[in-house]
Amino acid sequence: MDEKRRRILKLLEEGHVTAEEADQLLEALNDANNSENNQSKAETIADKESEAEDFTKNLKKDLKNLTEGLFNMVDDTLQKVKSGPFEFNFKHTSVKREFQFDSSDITNLSLNLASSSIEIFPSENDEISMDCRGKVYKETNQEEAEKKFDQSFQVSVNDQTLHIEQDRKYIMVEITLYLPKKIYHDVSIKTINGSIYLRNHHFEAARISTVNGSVKANKFKSEALYVDTKHGSVRLDDVQLSKAKIDTTTGAAFIDGEIGHLKTNVITGSIRAYVRNSDAGDADLHATTGSIQLYVPEDIRLHGHASTTVSSVDINLPDANVDTESDQIMKKFIRFNKGIDKDSEETDYFDVDLSTKTGSIRVSNL
């Protein structure tokens, strides 16, 4: 067993990463090993075909970037554990707080957090309630810990906005927020160290961001959603999104639901999107070192482009027409459409743009 695989399993054993995250890291290592085999094949091709020499040099560079990118993902995760806001062997003191608010005037949310994970659920009544479970590190005195927590954690309501702020990295807080089911107009949730989970809510405009943590949403609706993570995955299940932009540096992106306009950029990780509605507008899915999978309804009308530098493009749609296909050694570009007359000037179709540098692309029916 190689050293990186052993380190990943050690993180899982100690509870620093979830089983899902460990599986993704192990899969990334396997992809990297496969890429090294592809590199050897590319070198053989270059020896036999002198006209491909320049391309092969670029190919080797891309493969090297892929391998380094995947290994960096593992190293970044390990470093995140080692150099977080506190050392894991430091003692801490636990602090609990509960808050309740009248929700009648609150239509906006602003959460600016240093080291906090947050879960937002629908409440069973018309009140907003919040449970906070904090850990104050480097402090063993209960009274001093509670004082430091209260200084760090601030909650207020003004201008129809619920404000929650937490500004000290050595205080970790797990927040559970219960909101009455209604439309919230402007929502901003930012955390440095922590994950974010949303369930069964409607945010008209929402900006969700975390540096070290994942973002998950279930039964969620938004007219304008922006999600940004640095070291963490994004998973959106059973969602209704008019417009959505998703950016991740290290982590996969998963989207399943009814989509109007979707733009997703992933540096190291895969993209998988299930578009459930036939009236979807457009999807721009771009990955640097990862695969792209797009699933669409059987009756959807679409026009698309797909390109990859290293790997394959599979348009697995029975009624699709491939208009243009370029295949230069391992570089592929395909233009395809389904249910659209070539000479038609119609614009009422799903416009798809898929590109990855070192990964495969697959388009299939649901």
Q: What is the pLDDT of residues 171-217, one digit of tens each?
A: 999 999 999 999 999 999 999 999 999 999 999 999 999 999 999 99
SS3 of 277, please? coil
Q: Is residue 13 part of a domain?
A: yes
Asked if residue 218 and residue 114 are part of one domain, the reply reads: yes
Asked if residue 181 and residue 143 are part of one domain, the reply reads: yes
Asked if residue 204 and residue 182 are part of one domain, the reply reads: yes
Asked if residue 282 and residue 193 are part of one domain, the reply reads: no
Identify the pLDDT of residue 18.
56
Is the alpha carbon torsion for 66, 68, 69, 71 positive or negative? positive
Asked if residue 68 and residue 116 are part of one domain, the reply reads: no
Asked if residue 73 and residue 91 are part of one domain, the reply reads: no
Q: Is residue 29 part of a domain?
A: yes
Chain-centroid distance, C-alpha 19:
17
Q: Is residue 244 part of a domain?
A: no
Note down the domain range covering 260.
Answer: 252-366
Identify the pLDDT of residue 258.
97
Identify the pLDDT of residue 332.
81
Asked if residue 305 and residue 169 are part of one domain, the reply reads: no
Closest CA to 366 of 276, 253, 279, 270: 276
Q: Is residue 287 part of a domain?
A: yes
φ/ψ of residue 189, rounded to 5: -130, 115
Which DSSP letter does residue 222 get? E
SS3 of 357, please? coil
φ/ψ of residue 153, rounded to 5: -105, 115
Asked if residue 319 and residue 188 are part of one domain, the reply reads: no
| Alpha-carbon span 277 to 257, nearest angstrom | 8
Identify the pLDDT of residue 320.
83
CB 14 within 8 A of CB 77: no
From 22, 51, 82, give the residue that closes a domain: 82
Identify the pLDDT of residue 83.
43
From 47, 66, 82, give the residue that closes a domain: 82
Query: What is the total count of domains within the chain?
Result: 3
Dmax (CA) for the chain in angstroms is 76
pLDDT < 50: residue spans in the chain: 15, 45-46, 48, 50-52, 55-56, 59-60, 62-64, 66-68, 70-71, 78-79, 81-83, 85-88
Q: Is residue 245 part of a domain?
A: no
Asked if residue 194 and residue 120 are part of one domain, the reply reads: yes
Beta bridge partners of 219: none
Q: Is residue 49 part of a domain?
A: yes
Asked if residue 105 and residue 70 are part of one domain, the reply reads: no
Q: Is residue 236 part of a domain?
A: no
From 82, 100, 115, give the residue that closes a domain: 82
Give, to the nearest 10 degrees, the angle between helix 53-82 and helix 19-48: 160
